[in-house]
Amino acid sequence: MSIRERLSGNEAAAIAMKQINPDVVAAFPITPSTEIPQYFSSFVNNGVVDTEFVAVESEHSAMSACIGAEAAGSRAMTATSANGLSYMWEVLYIASSLRLPIVMNLVNRAVSGPINIHNDHSDAMGVRDSGWIQIFSETNQEVYDNLIMAHQIAENKKVLLPLMVCQDGFITSHSIENIELLEDDVVKKFVGTYKPEHYLLNDKEPISIGPLDLQGYLFEHKMQQSEAMFNSKQVILEVADKFEKITGRKYGFFEEYRLNDAELVVVCMNSTAGTAKATADKLREQGIKAGVLKVRVFRPFPAEEIAKALSNSKAIAILDKADSLNAAGGALFEDTVSSLYTSNIHIPAISYVYGIGGRDVKIDDIEKVYKDLNEIVNNNGNINYPYRHLGVRGI
């Protein structure tokens, strides 16, 4: 029996953490993720969980403490945003290279400067190749569900990689939505007990963590990380299948919305998908075959699967809430177009950078995207300029 509640995205994350009851949580406050460790610390203080809460002096220290805890054999979690994630940059790579399945709540926010506390995806995109699994969440329900599934994915023996669950700062983190929670005992059974094979406090197997790794071995170890990321694709689907059996909620690498016969398709992530779906519904009433592909799993990137899902469309717009500043489109655009190319699928595709620093994106904006796609189709697939910005004043 599910429990009906009304929670913000941050509250949903904290309650998921309470039900998981990790051994260690280390965190440093930064808007808009501050509420997650704040809520969770109250659970610690009230004796609801037996987690060791470590209040550190910086985000670098927060991730370092998680690395130490996980290396010692404990289940560790944290939360951060934007510049906090940037301050963790060095140790994010260490966590993944040491194959430590830490789980982090990343509440997406613009990385300074100039300073901005509102939402875009520049923080997640800045660390997309650091070896962390990245799962994005459209709604508060998805934030909760993704966190419940996270440890089962990260701790799988075929994976052993850290994982970040992303949500949009303020848009979902502070907005209240209806949500269905699982009972504590159901979550406990689903997540299971962490049983690492190799850890520092195992007196039967003395090991060292973080040794020097020069030319003779580093390449092979990086290859092992690459294989683990590839393995995580299958594990993500297996865990989602188990989760569906107890909740009825189905998750995959992405969500296909009205995509079966769609000719004009928008590809996006996180909360923007809700606006894109509403726009597609509106256009469908006008006889326009609009669809949406919402990417849920960004790392590992489901290249072949996305290419197949988009193969019947006539024109595609990929929306990036971060600018790679490379004069060649955003990260989601690059990966999607690469997927199509390597699958020998040739469909006109355009890049839109949007929503930087929390700039509102409304149905009218997404309608303009579909209008541009329709013009491309009517123009025999010709694209005047593929690298565009949506919602910028003066354009």
Which stretches of the chain are assigned E, i.e. beta strand?
A: 3-8, 24-27, 52-55, 76-80, 103-108, 133-136, 163-168, 176-181, 254-257, 264-269, 290-295, 297-299, 315-320, 349-354, 387-390
Q: Is 22 left (phi over 0), alpha (psi -120 to 50) or beta?
A: beta
Per-residue pLDDT of the chain (395 residues; tens, 9 = 90+): 689 999 999 999 999 999 999 999 999 999 999 999 999 999 999 999 999 999 999 999 999 999 999 999 999 999 999 999 999 999 999 999 999 999 999 999 999 989 999 999 999 999 999 999 999 999 999 999 999 999 999 999 999 999 999 999 999 999 999 999 999 999 999 999 999 999 999 999 999 998 899 999 999 999 999 999 999 999 999 999 999 999 999 999 999 999 999 999 999 999 999 999 999 999 999 999 999 999 999 999 999 999 999 999 999 999 999 999 999 999 999 999 999 999 999 999 999 999 999 999 999 999 999 999 999 999 999 999 999 999 999 87
Query: How many CB atoms are located within 10 Å of the residue 313 CB?
Result: 23
Give the separation between CA 335 and CA 305, rounded to whole angstroms.
Answer: 12
Token output for 324: 């790679």
Q: Which domains does the chain have, with CATH numbers?
A: 3-247 (3.40.50.970), 254-390 (3.40.50.920)
β-partners of residue 354 are 390
N- to C-terminal Cα separation, the chain: 51
- The span from the CA of 250 to the CA of 2, in Å, is 15
The residues that bridge with 7 in the sheet, in sequence order, are: 177
